Structure 1
Amino acid sequence: MIRVFVVDDSQICCELLSDQLEEDGDIEVIDIAASGVEALAKLAATNPDVVTVDLNMPGMDGLTLIETIMARDPRPIIVVTGLDARERDLAVAATERGALGLVNKVGPADAEASAALRESVRRLANVDVGEPAPRSSSSGSGAKWPAPRAADRHATPIVAFGSSAGGPKALFPVLDALPPQLPAALAVAHHLPPDFVSAFSRLLRSRIQFEVCIAHEPVEPEPGVLVLAPGGTDLVLEDGRLRSRAARPGALACPRVDVLFESLAGVAGAHVGVVLSGLGDDGSRGLAAMRDAGKLTIVQDRATATVWGMPRAALGSALEVLNTHEIDEAITRWLRKRGPSGRSG
């Protein structure tokens, strides 16, 4: 039985959410709280597997509650949020604070959304969540890097990031540390419910110095541009452009990291694949393809990854295993000699 703690200042919402969670019989709502302060007082005694959090509450709001839980007693947190743009913006911001899942508040008649909520709880219930250490002793030496290839100098490099649960806590610092004049385009495949992609793009624009665009139409990779897939689609490099592709029906994780990485492995360019915190093994197959094609492959290390699933699965394909403070340096050094303006010798 999966034990869930529900935090929402609306009694009606608590009752509805409890009914939705307990419908299949394998999830039990063990307690509810109407405020962040009440939740913190009850949390240690109840010791739930998963906490669901509403963001708009009196007193201590949901963002502060999430940050406090992750600092004091880390555990999987799912944000249950309303449908307006402001609430979605706050929900995506909560993933920077440590929330691992995002779901919309839905009515009792929406059976499909209720089932998705329960599936999200099941996927996160056994995740080992820890507050990442500030640094590790890893080092990006470049000793295993393949030699520069002359053919790669004629294509704009693409630095591709793959992440899932816990990924934003690593992704935003890495992107912020990259120099604005980086001679590469950026592509991000971060698992998100389709309704939250626009909010994710807005948060990116507020945090980083690169231009952010969603590939509703094919995008020419250019230095200083970061590309996302529209909600519910994959992102690929095809015919020299980053474009969306219909995702596999029923895919739980979207956009798929493997799809993006494999598209980069098959073409010329000093491309980089980076696997950050996430649940499952998406990205491991694509990172192996990139390594075999002579690209730079990086995996976030255990000390700084909130969820060690995706990085652990991709370890065997990594030329570098780095903490979040070293990834930007490795990318910059790689591009310095391998990008269009670099030297091949």
Structure 2
Amino acid sequence: MIRVVVIDDSAFMRKAISTMLAKDPEIQVVGTAHNGNEGIERIRELDPDVVTLDIEMPVMDGLTALRRIMMEMPRPVIMVSSLTTEGAEATLKAMELGAVDFISKELSKVSLDIIKIEADLQKKVKAVAKRKLRHRTPLRPVPRSAESHLRERIAAIGGRPVRDIVAIGVSTGGPPAVQKVLSSLPVDFPAAVLIAQHMPPAFTGPFAKRLDNVCAISVKEAEDGEPLKPGTVYIAPGGKHLKITQRGTKLDVVVSPDPAGALYKPSVNVLISSVAETLGRRALGVILTGMGNDGLEGIRELKARGGRVLAQNDATCVVYGMPKAIVDAGLADGILGIDEMGPAIISSLYEN
């Protein structure tokens, strides 16, 4: 049985989350709290496997409470977030501090979507419960000495890269993993990077800005029709798919709602299939932490066309779902911890 404590200043939200979770026979809500201070007391008293945590609360807010939880009694924490720019900034900060995922505060109130939300919340709680105490260290920036080492590595490899596009797919637990990888890439990184991270529309713009502020490499939210440039990272906008197209010798970004029927928007499969079809062996596919198997079919296509594939390892994933699908299918050329992924990406650009 997975034991959960729900912390939220809204009585409605405490009841809604508790009711949704209680419908799963594998989950038990063992306690609730209406602010961070009371929540810390409940966690200390009840020792739950997973915590859901609101951000805006009286007495002690969610970010302050999260810092305390991660320092004193670390465990998986899912943030209850507002789908606004401000909510996105706070949630991304929470993930840097050690939170593993978030649920939408607004969507939880929409009765027509309640079955979908229930299933999503239950899946997230069960997935992160398996990672108890695994994701407890707040993210630290890559030291400049490490970045210099990677730049030296590029120079030492020499020659011209055989791959000039990196396509990354990621979901649950993704923001800190993506930041870890991108902050290890030097400003003169010789390839363009495209990322499909499962996120709502309000989150991807702030996510790209936050990454751009902490990475040497340039990071932006992708715009339809813009040219792909080496040393630039393009984040798929939430609610839309990211693809590429070739016009003569030029590669352009495509941002589109199609295919409309895709399970996720952005879809990792859509991104990597597009990269595979357009570039084949000139592309590197990277699958990081996440639930499910989005990216499997795209990676299969990329491998068939001569591309190279890296997957994050079990030990460093928040949820070993998406990378596991790649590994189990025998499609990964390398299986690496998140700290090793940046150097492996650089090496893979030069390997046949």
Whether the TM-score (by the shorter chain) exceeds 0.5 is yes
- Measure, in 2, the Cα distance between the counterparts of 1:64 and 1:283: 35
Structure 1 residues 266-281: aligned runs within 5 Å: 266-268=277-279, 270-281=282-293
Does the 8 Å CA contact 2:169/2:287 hold for their aligned counterparts?
A: yes
Question: Which of 188, 194, 216 pairs up with 2:201?
Answer: 194
**Cα distance, 1:238–1:108 mapped onto 2, change above 3 Å:** closer
Note closer, same or farther for the CA distance 1:70–1:278 as it changes in structure 2 (3 Å cut): farther
Which amino acid is the alignment partner of residue 246 of structure 1?
A: P
* 1:169 Cα offset (Å): 2.4
CA distance in 1, matches of 2:276, 2:49: 39
Q: Who is 1:222 aligned against?
A: 229
Mapped partners of 1:323, 1:334: distance in 2: 15
**Cα distance between partner residues in 2 of 1:103 and 1:308:** 19
Aligned to 2:177: 170
More contact order relative to length (CA 8 Å, sep ≥ 6): 1
Contact 1:35 1:59 in 2 (8 A): yes
Q: Is the 8 A contact 2:172 2:291 kept in 1?
A: yes
Structure 2: distance between partners of 1:247 and 1:51: 36
- The one-letter amino acid paired with 1:35 is N
User: Deviation of residue 195 (structure 1)?
Assistant: 2.4
Q: Which amino acid is 1:296 matched to?
A: R
Percent identity reads 31
Letter in 2 for 1:104: S
Amino acid aligned to 2:298: G
TM-score (normalised: structure 1): 0.80
8 Å CA contact 1:80, 1:105 repeated in 2: yes
Are 2:201 and 2:238, in contact at CA under 8 Å, matched by a contact in 1?
A: yes
Cα distance in 2, alignment partners of residues 276 and 53 from structure 1: 25
Q: Does 1:258 align with 2:260?
A: no
Which residue is equivalent to 1:15? 12
Query: Which protein is richer in helix relative to its size?
Result: 2
Q: Corresponding residue for 2:149?
A: none
Aligned to 1:329: 343
> Helix, strand or coil for the counterpart of 2:172?
coil
Q: Could you tell me which of 228, 234, 242 is aligned with 2:253? A: 242
Deviates more, 1:190-199 or 1:248-257: 248-257
Q: How many pairs were matched up? A: 316
Shift of 1:80: 1.6
What is the TM-score when the length of structure 2 is the normalising length? 0.78
How far the C-alpha of 1:18 sits from its partner, in A, is 1.3
Distance (Å, rounded) in 2 between the aligned partners of 1:185 and 1:245: 19
Higher mean C-alpha displacement, 215-224 vs 21-30: 21-30
Q: In structure 1, what is the Cα distance between the partners aligned to 2:21 and 2:262?
A: 21
CA distance in 1 between counterparts of 2:282 and 2:108 reads 50
In structure 2, list runs of 5 or more residues that go unmatched.
Answer: 138-160
Task: Decide whether aligned partners of structure 1 residues 16 and 62 sit closer, same or farther in structure 2, where only a CA change above 3 A counts.
Answer: closer
RMSD value over aligned CA atoms? Answer: 3.1
**Cα offset for 1:83?**
4.8
Q: Return the offset for 1:330.
A: 1.9
Contact 2:185 2:217 in 1 (8 A): no
**Contact 1:274–1:299 at 8 Å: present in 2 too?**
yes
Other structure's SS at 1:221 match: coil
SS at match of 1:303: helix
What is the CA-CA distance between 1:34 and the residue it aligns to?
2.8
1:282 paired with 2:294, answer yes
Q: Could you tell which deviates more after superposition, 205-214 or 244-253?
A: 244-253
2 CA distance for matches of 1:185 and 1:17? 44
Q: Distance in 2 between matches of 1:16 and 1:217?
A: 38
Structure 2: distance between partners of 1:162 and 1:256? 8
CA distance 1:84–1:169, change in 2 (3 Å): closer
CA separation in 2, counterparts of 1:51 and 1:247? 36
Question: Aligned equivalents of 2:69 and 2:263: distance in 1?
Answer: 27
CA distance in 2, matches of 1:321, 1:33: 41
Q: How does 1:289-308 map to 2 (within 5 A)?
A: 289-308=301-320
Alignment partners' CA distance in 1, 2:271 and 2:5: 36
- Say if 1:113 and 1:53 are closer, same or farther in 2 by CA, change over 3 A: farther
The verdict on how the C-alpha distance between 1:108 and 1:334 changes in structure 2, with shifts beyond 3 A counting, is closer
Q: CA, structure 1 residues 65+252, in 2 after alignment: closer, same or farther (shift >3 Å)?
A: farther
What are the superposed Cα offsets for residues 239-263 of structure 1, whole Å, 9 maximum, x if unpaired? 3322122155575533111111111
